[in-house]
Structure 1
């Protein structure tokens, strides 16, 4: 897999994973709860998915053969970008007016 395709794959997976906690009442889209998910559980799920997408990116970068060391700046920027990717799901869940 070339680097352009792997970069695009990581971005698409990040877009989907960032909105997943807000689009479904299931934890990670798999585990059904008896009650509604709280905001804190959604944020915890968002944090775990951030690390899962980061691990996928790390795996694809290592597979390409040239893994580069990253500083704190990289992680700060990617965390902020992941939060921006979660914005559509947040708007859908909390800010959208219902059509009652």
Structure 2
């Protein structure tokens, strides 16, 4: 897989995983169905999906080239990016008008 394809794969996975906690009521998308997941549980899922995205990105980077060291700034920016990508799911779950 080329480096460009790896980047697009990680970005697509990040967008899907960022919205996954808000579009289903299952625990981590495969667990038992909850009647109501609170926002705290959704944020915990988002943090774990962020870690999964980091893991996949690091693995693909190691396969394609030498792995670069990442400081705290990288993880701070990635957290902000995941929160930004999760915004459509948050709006759909919490801010849309309930009929």
Q: TM-score range with shorter-chain normalisation?
A: over 0.9
Q: Which moved more, 1:32-41 or 1:21-30?
A: 32-41
TM-score, with structure 2 as normaliser? 0.95
Runs ≥4 residues deviating over 3 A: none
C-alpha offsets along residues 70-98 of structure 1, whole Å, 9 cap, x if unaligned?
11111111110000000000000000112
Provide, for residues 53-79 of structure 1, a one-character-per-residue CA deviation record: whole Å limited to 9, x for no partner. 100000000011211111111111111
Stretches of structure 2 lacking an aligned partner (at least 5 in a row) = none
Q: TM-score, normalised by structure 1?
A: 0.94
What are the ranges of 5 or more consecutive residues in structure 1 without an aligned counterpart? none
Alpha-carbon RMSD across the aligned residues, in angstroms, is 0.9
What residue in structure 1 maps to residue 59 of structure 2? 59
Inter-CA distance 28–4: structure 2 relative to 1 (3 Å threshold) = same
Q: Matched residue pairs, number? A: 99
Q: Residues 25 and 34 of structure 2 are in contact (CA less than 8 Å); yes or no, is this contact kept in structure 1?
A: no
